[in-house]
């Protein structure tokens, strides 16, 4: 990236996007050209077709490049286009992960985790060699790029990377068995979807049995298309479920603002405020009063 970026600026293109340093955006009277850069892999797109061709030609004069045509595969991500939109998946990557875990002949399961499971650092006996555990969890983390349905489960098992135990390893294998039965799951981006941003968030108060820390979860949609999500343990314990929800609201709002700025740069401004949805009435009331200045948190 360090060598390519100056070249793009020399070519008259815009500098790094302030909200995503791997994204370059060049606006012209004809439209927009977007370049996404990851080390030596590049995606170039936009509605300024002549501008896209000009950029490709300019870069090919400076670097040895190969045009792979219409986007179909990028860093393990598979892109399938149809009349009703795009499907982003990791079928081959997931299949390779099942083989890596030696579960090709095993049965699949219907959920990533057993109901109401609670894992702690002292569950079961220690693994003699944690290398395999770390490799499988690392692969699962990357799989969450297109699989929000396993985000919480992977978040849970990734907490035991330092000293995993057999109980944790069994949980990892269950996640992979679930993946085996859902290989073709992915993210669908519909051409008929609106461009209105909205967010859903929640918090699981004191869900960590060891340290009583809560878990934040949120997902952000552009119309009907899921574009961002997260499941993460909160930094410090909360004294109440309301406080946990309030922290989740703060995390969601931070991500929401970043996406609003990024969408504006990409020519998709949000003309009005964004709706945030939660299922906690107390949190909603507290937030409303706080915005009015009636309470202090």
Distance CA 190, CA 281 (A): 32
Distance CA 245, CA 107 (A): 37
Band of pLDDT at residue 114, cut at 50, 70 and 90? very high
Residues 234 and 273: beta-carbon distance below 8 Å: no
Residues 155 and 231: beta-carbon distance below 8 Å: yes
Interstrand relation of 197-204 and 215-222 (parallel, antiparallel or unpaired): antiparallel
What pLDDT is stored for residue 102 in this prediction?
94
Q: Please tell me whether the overall predicted TM-score, pTM, comes out greater than 0.75 for this model.
A: yes
- Tokens linked to 171: 């949980």
Model pLDDT for residues 31-47, shown as the tens digit of each residue: 999 999 888 899 999 99
| Mean pLDDT on 189-216 | 91
Model pLDDT for residues 46-96, shown as the tens digit of each residue: 999 999 999 999 888 888 888 999 999 999 999 999 999 999 999 999 999
List all residues 6 or more positions away from 33 whose beta carbon is below 8 Å from its beta carbon. 13, 25, 26, 44, 45, 46, 48, 51, 52, 55
pLDDT of residue 12 exceeding 70, the answer is no
Band of pLDDT at residue 166, cut at 50, 70 and 90? very high
What pLDDT is stored for residue 294 in this prediction?
47
Distance CA 283, CA 26 (A): 42
Q: Going from the N-terminus, what domains does the chain have, and what CATH number goes with each? A: 4-69 (no CATH), 88-181 (no CATH), 193-292 (3.30.420.10)
Residues 125 and 169: beta-carbon distance below 8 Å: no
Say how many C-beta atoms besides its own lie within 10 A of residue 127's C-beta: 17
Per-residue 3-state assignment (H helix, E strand, C coil) for the chain: CCCHHHHHHHCCCCCEECCEEEEEEEEECCEEEEEEEECCEEEEEECCHHHHHHHHHHHHHHCCCCCCCCCCEECCEEEEEECCEEEEECHHHHHHHHHHCCCCCCCCCCCCCCCCCCCCCCCCCECCCCHHHHHHHHHHHHHCCCCHHHHHHHHHHHHHCCCCEHHHHHHHHHHHHHHHHCCCCEEEEECCCCCCEEEEEEEECCCCCCCCCCEEEEEEEECCEEEEEEEEECCCCCCCHHHHHHHHHHHHHHHHHHHHHHHHHCCCCCCCCCEEECCCHHHHHHHHHHHHCCCCC
What pLDDT is stored for residue 3 in this prediction?
55
Sheet with strand 31-38: strands edge to edge: 16-17, 20-28, 31-38, 41-46
Share of the chain above pLDDT 90, in %: 67
Buried b (16+ CB within 10 A) or exposed e, 19-35: beeebbbbbeeeebbbb
What pLDDT is stored for residue 286 in this prediction?
54
| Owner of token pair 């992960």 | 97
């Amino acid at each position: 990236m360090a060598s390519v970026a100056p070249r793009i600026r020399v070519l008259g293109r815009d500098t790094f996007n302030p909200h995503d340093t791997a994204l370059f955006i060049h606006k012209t009277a004809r439209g927009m050209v977007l370049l996404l850069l990851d080390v030596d892999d590049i995606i170039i797109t936009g509605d300024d077709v002549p501008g896209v061709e000009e950029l490709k030609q300019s870069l090919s004069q400076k670097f040895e490049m190969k045009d792979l045509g219409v986007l179909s595969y990028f860093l393990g991500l598979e892109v399938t286009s149809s009349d009703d939109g795009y499907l982003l998946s990791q079928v081959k990557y997931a299949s390779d992960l099942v083989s890596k875990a030696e579960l090709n002949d095993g049965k699949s399961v219907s959920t990533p985790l057993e109901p109401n499971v609670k894992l702690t650092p002292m569950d079961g006996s220690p693994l003699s060699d944690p290398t395999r555990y770390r490799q499988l969890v690392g692969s699962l983390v990357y799989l969450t790029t297109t699989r929000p349905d396993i985000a919480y489960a992977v978040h849970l098992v990734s907490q035991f990377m330092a000293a995993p135990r057999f109980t944790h390893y069994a949980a990892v294998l269950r996640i992979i068995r679930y993946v085996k039965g859902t290989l073709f799951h992915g993210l669908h981006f519909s051409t008929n979807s609106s461009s209105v941003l909205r967010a859903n968030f929640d918090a699981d108060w004191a869900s960590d049995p060891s340290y009583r820390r809560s878990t934040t979860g949120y997902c952000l949609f552009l119309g009907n298309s899921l574009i961002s999500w997260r499941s993460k343990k909160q930094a410090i314990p909360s004294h109440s479920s309301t406080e946990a929800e309030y922290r989740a609201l703060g995390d969601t709002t931070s991500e929401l603002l970043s996406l609003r700025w990024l969408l504006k740069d990409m020519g998709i401004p949000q003309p009005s405020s964004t709706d945030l949805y939660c299922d906690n009435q107390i949190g909603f009331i507290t937030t409303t009063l706080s915005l009015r200045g009636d309470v202090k948190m």
